[in-house]
Structure 1
């Protein structure tokens, strides 16, 4: 028997930035689709909310998916399709449901329904079921929910879920102007696109019995349902764009690697087994099983994501690390002119930086002192390292040693010179190098100091030490004058 090709779909609305929860859903759909030669994941843009949709959000969705490795250059990808293009089919399906008696027109206002019910929360009361109304102004089309019994949703993740028909009102499927509601458009699109598996967030579970009733009313077998666990923050509250950092673009801009993000998102509710976590897509994708997804909420741990990203950064080859860092080092994002950036210098320091950054955006504060005319002023670092008297004395001693033309300008001799200068003041190397580091780099922490001094060069190091001394002497004079 020929296996039915798997057809999943990812159906976002272009109403904002790309949510990490949406990215997780897309990846799970993508993983399943790629497990068959004829498998497909359809990208369907649900763009019928004209008031909120914007073209740039659609473009953002496509870019974000491409960043994750999902796109038109893969034969398992199809789209983008646009829900608005199916408007005629939506209307035709609504008409066929009316003609078959599975839907009826209703002219009740919300206020009228509430007046007839003791408890407004009970919803619509079926008042127009048997009035025989035809289409007309102010008349919405409602689906006739069967009386008695439940609708049973067989969910691959949550098991058997029953929804009693008595708790499902006759729901509207088309407005009075004929435009379809989401519940109908969604089903029609899935039917037309031959979707076999619907893998989406658990917030859509409440829509599922209505959608399944529509599938059955069309005399079609519903797709395989799978509702993914909600993603929560540290307080175990559902991730919210108002409270949490949820935009995939934000992580991309900070310098998270796509492969690290993909790896981490795949573990939000699913695991490959054997306590394995750091795994490339090529290994995770064949292992993915919808039935293995956990129904419990999944904690989005940004600290863990950051650790994942650091692992992936450290695994990059030297040349690739340089290329990945380039967007932060050149162009508008860089805090210096392109002419100030010396790629040879960066390539020399890159191995030192690669082991220290967890996201690529951190490369700038690690190397900016090499390409800026003057180091960044960090008052906290200055106040910590430049203790009254001691800071000036250490810089004066270092200045004298560094200016000696007999000193070879290399990391080891520079370390020895700094150690000697500190010893003359009774300071061990750790204390002695702090004022030098802040004077030259602007910060108390960073790349190995003496390799940094070597790359910066004698002239620039002496100029920065001299400038720091001037600042210290001015401070001491101001303090003395009260």
Structure 2
């Protein structure tokens, strides 16, 4: 057996199943594989594990490809790219698996198991009662030809099981160090269903071998299957299947959600689509996900994808579970938004300035007005979708109706303040500084500081108590529309 160690020869694989929507745990796995391949100058193989016809879907397959493209995680071999080990969808490789299964049977590395589900359940239950390991007990390991004939005469069907070695399996995990699994805890396992369909337990190692994968970076939940796969890699090497080496493993820590539970596909914050719809930047999301088990340095959380690639070594991944913190994820994304050139920020906002996100008519959108406000918005946004509510006052015929904001700002005396502010604004020049001076003067006449004085004006004009800097917003909105909205608010207060 050989272990691949040369950095230039690193070959990793990302091999998701096309079931449901991509989730952040899956993305973290893809990111670490991609970053390690790019850091070492190696090869990223993108492989689709779509052998479960009942659960796999073409829609999910397309979502996976789209997600990888959106994130910027390119691949060197795989769907739409091709490569020397095509095809890269397991549903198109069934003949390969059937041939390998046949060779494993003929060589004695595998055998046919005729145990029924009922028999297996009874024996497992008995083992549990006696505090023995409850894995497969090897009942069909050494059947005689007569026993096989008798089972088949009964009409029993058989699966194919891989024969595990009767000795411990030890390997060094790049994240967890040296691990040993005793044979009594790793029983023979199924690799082919009774209908002849190859199981994940076979196809995954076979594809790794044939595609010459050198490093397997995957979730901790798959750790218990590793000794089984190592035994199979060794058997495949004996049969001359693939590159002849056992990959190096690195099992990535769990991503935890609320209540010290592993983040589940069913948890709302796990869906990648959520982050795309809210307007996270790919680089912001990848920055945060890379921190789930790894860090670029003890005192630094913000970095670019290029900096991640330059620094990433899977040996630096922490084995302890990582907690997903949505607030921190948002804060990191906000930092990346602020670091964009203004023109790039404005361009990134474009999807949220039109249907179905924008509540205004397309003809009301004013690009020049938006461009004037974009630098102000950029310093305040957490995610791109926030832009809609921050600039809607500029493109709506009337400001939004937010009852909480109205009740908070329009307290007794607000009408008098608004009337004075309207009079002074009507006579003011129309720069932000002049507008601020006018509202300040109106507030002084009513014994109010600027903060209290501008609140009714803000709600009258924008509909909300919070938003972009008020006086710059009024400057862009214009004299006529600003004064008309103050008049409308006064009419509402008097009604």
Where 2:429 maps in the other structure, the secondary structure is coil
Matched with 1:6 is 10
For the structure 1 residues 333 and 273, does the alpha-carbon distance in structure 2 shift closer, same or farther, using more than 3 Å as the test? same
For the structure 1 residues 419 and 116, does the alpha-carbon distance in structure 2 shift closer, same or farther, using more than 3 Å as the test? closer
User: Does structure 2 retain, via aligned residues, the 8 Å contact 1:18–1:60?
Assistant: yes
* Among 84, 93, 98, the residue aligned to 2:91: 84
Aligned positions of 1:72-151 closer than 5 A: 81-116=88-123, 118-119=126-127, 122-132=134-144, 133=148, 138-147=157-166, 149-151=167-169
TM-superposed deviation, 1:2 = 7.9
Where 2:88 maps in the other structure, the secondary structure is strand
Matched with 2:424 is 401
Matched with 1:444 is 465
Aligned-CA RMSD value: 2.1
User: Does structure 1 retain, via aligned residues, the 8 Å contact 2:269–2:326?
Assistant: no
In structure 1, how many angstroms separate the alpha carbons of the residues matched to 2:343 and 2:178? 52
For the structure 1 residues 47 and 104, does the alpha-carbon distance in structure 2 shift closer, same or farther, using more than 3 Å as the test? same
Q: Does 1:205 align with 2:223?
A: yes
In structure 2, how many angstroms separate the alpha carbons of the residues matched to 1:395 and 1:73? 63
User: Does structure 2 retain, via aligned residues, the 8 Å contact 1:42–1:78?
Assistant: no
* Among 32, 35, 45, the residue aligned to 2:36: 32
Matched with 1:45 is 48
TM-superposed deviation, 1:73 = 8.2
For the structure 1 residues 417 and 114, does the alpha-carbon distance in structure 2 shift closer, same or farther, using more than 3 Å as the test? closer
Matched with 1:465 is 486
In structure 1, how many angstroms separate the alpha carbons of the residues matched to 2:11 and 2:340? 34
Q: Deviations over 1:294-318 (max 9, x none)?
A: 1011122211111111111111111
Matched with 1:357 is 381
TM-superposed deviation, 1:463 = 1.6
Q: Deviations over 1:379-420 (max 9, x none)?
A: 1111100013x111111222222334xx22222222222122
Of 239-248 and 54-63, deviating more is 239-248
TM-superposed deviation, 1:128 = 1.4
Of 278-287 and 43-52, deviating more is 278-287
TM-superposed deviation, 1:124 = 2.3
Q: Deviations over 1:138-173 (max 9, x none)?
A: 1111112222x3111321111111111112222111
For the structure 1 residues 319 and 114, does the alpha-carbon distance in structure 2 shift closer, same or farther, using more than 3 Å as the test? closer
Q: Does 1:176 align with 2:194?
A: yes
In structure 1, how many angstroms separate the alpha carbons of the residues matched to 2:226 and 2:482? 67
User: Does structure 2 retain, via aligned residues, the 8 Å contact 1:25–1:200?
Assistant: yes
Uncovered stretches (5+) of structure 1, i.e. residues with no partner: 475-482
For the structure 1 residues 78 and 152, does the alpha-carbon distance in structure 2 shift closer, same or farther, using more than 3 Å as the test? farther
TM-superposed deviation, 1:331 = 4.0
* Among 341, 346, 351, the residue aligned to 1:317: 341
Q: Does 1:69 align with 2:69?
A: no
In structure 2, how many angstroms separate the alpha carbons of the residues matched to 1:83 and 1:382? 59
Matched with 1:477 is none
TM-superposed deviation, 1:244 = 4.0
Matched with 2:360 is 336
Q: Does 1:411 align with 2:442?
A: no
Uncovered stretches (5+) of structure 2, i.e. residues with no partner: 239-243
In structure 2, how many angstroms separate the alpha carbons of the residues matched to 1:67 and 1:285? 18
In structure 1, how many angstroms separate the alpha carbons of the residues matched to 2:200 and 2:281? 35
For normalisation by structure 2, the TM-score amounts to 0.90
In structure 2, how many angstroms separate the alpha carbons of the residues matched to 1:127 and 1:443? 73
Matched with 2:276 is 252
* Among 384, 404, 415, the residue aligned to 1:392: 415
Aligned positions of 1:149-164 closer than 5 A: 149-164=167-182
In structure 2, how many angstroms separate the alpha carbons of the residues matched to 1:212 and 1:436? 70
User: Does structure 2 retain, via aligned residues, the 8 Å contact 1:321–1:354?
Assistant: yes
Matched with 1:480 is none
Aligned positions of 1:228-377 closer than 5 A: 228-273=252-297, 275-377=299-401
TM-superposed deviation, 1:356 = 0.8
TM-superposed deviation, 1:459 = 1.4
In structure 1, how many angstroms separate the alpha carbons of the residues matched to 2:74 and 2:325? 27
For the structure 1 residues 92 and 274, does the alpha-carbon distance in structure 2 shift closer, same or farther, using more than 3 Å as the test? same
Matched with 1:430 is 451
For the structure 1 residues 12 and 457, does the alpha-carbon distance in structure 2 shift closer, same or farther, using more than 3 Å as the test? same
